[in-house]
Structures are given as structure tokens and as C-alpha cells.
Homo-oligomer: A and B are copies of this chain.
């Protein structure tokens, strides 16, 4: 399915086009900066991802300053793309939005008319019991946060911006250097900018390798 569509999309790409064209960009063109309005649009689109109870546990720590990117690079196995890319987003997952953001989120919904006060009370009650039983908050926050990270990369690609997700970093070093509190996980880094070279499609396993029908291990036949 993947094919190369040329260097810059003349119009926003469809999801299929963006998913097909996107690469984990190995080398960025450090001479090309990312426009601030375009960056803001990509970040805003990323926040449209769904999340558990709409608590939006993602936090985007946006690193643009070259000296800060070099500091981040030193926490990320010295990967050159951290220094090259115009922007690197430290994608964080916040563990306790139920304690600090449930009421603001419900207020937002009630004010906009998306939800009645009665329904808000229901959500409040369900959240109270759901979060009481939650044992692994880092895992919980990571789930929704990675939905936002994927949305960010597809949105970028759709708008002609290359990306690279990275998980090769020292989480404790990143947190120390950038003042990230203990109750946030560093889920990934996402570099954004323009690719210096075109990368070939590395391939994917066929669906019969990764899909099952009705029961684990039962072959997918379409």
C-alpha cells in the first residue's frame, strides 16, 4: 500500500495518505524551522485524541531552543535528530488528572451544553470508583497519551511536517533536566520538522501475522 507522494503535500492529506507517507524520520533538515502557527495547529489537533473519562492526561513540553535541544539530546543517547529537528516535544503522561482536572473537565462539558449536570454527576461517581481501583497509573496515563502522540504525528504528516517518535532516552535524566515532577511519565519524544533525506518504507507484517478472528491464535481470513 505505501507509496511516496512527493516532498510536500499540496493540500492536507487524508488519514490513509498521511499514515502511508509518514516515516520515523531518521535525519532532519536543521536549516528549516517549523512555523509557530503550524506547530500550534498540530498540538491542538493532538489534543483531539480520545482519553479515559476525557481527562486528557497528556502534557506536551515543547523544546525549541537550540541549547535546550542539545540538553535533551544528551539525555537521549545523543541522537542527532534531537538537535537537528526544529521542535522536539517531550510527551508526558500525567498520573492524577482525576484529582485535579475532573471538575474543570466536567464544568467545560456542562457549560458548553455537551453534558447535563445529572450526567456530570454520574461521570463523577463512576470516576471515583474507577480510579480507586487503579493500580498502575503510569500505564493508565500512557495509554491515552500515546493516542495523542499518534494523532500529533498524523496531523503533522497531513500538513507536510515530518516526525520521529523516540523512546531511546534516560527518563530520569529528562525529568531532572526539564523539571518534570515524579507523577508524570515521559512516554516518548516526538521530533517535528522537515526530513533531510527520504526514507524507504521498512515494511509491515501481513495481517495474518497480527490479526486473529474471534479467538487468540485463530487465523484471520478477512
Contacts and interface: CB of A to CB of B under 8 A. Distances in A.
Interface string A174-188: 000011110010011
Size class of the A contact interface (CB-based, 8 Å)? 35 or more
Interface string A106-129: 001100111100000000000000
A91 B149 CA distance: 17
Interface string A67-106: 0100000000000000000000000100000000100110
Contact of A1 (B11, B44, B146): B44
Contacts of A173: none
A133 to B, nearest CB: 11
Contacts of A132: none
A146 B211 CA distance: 16
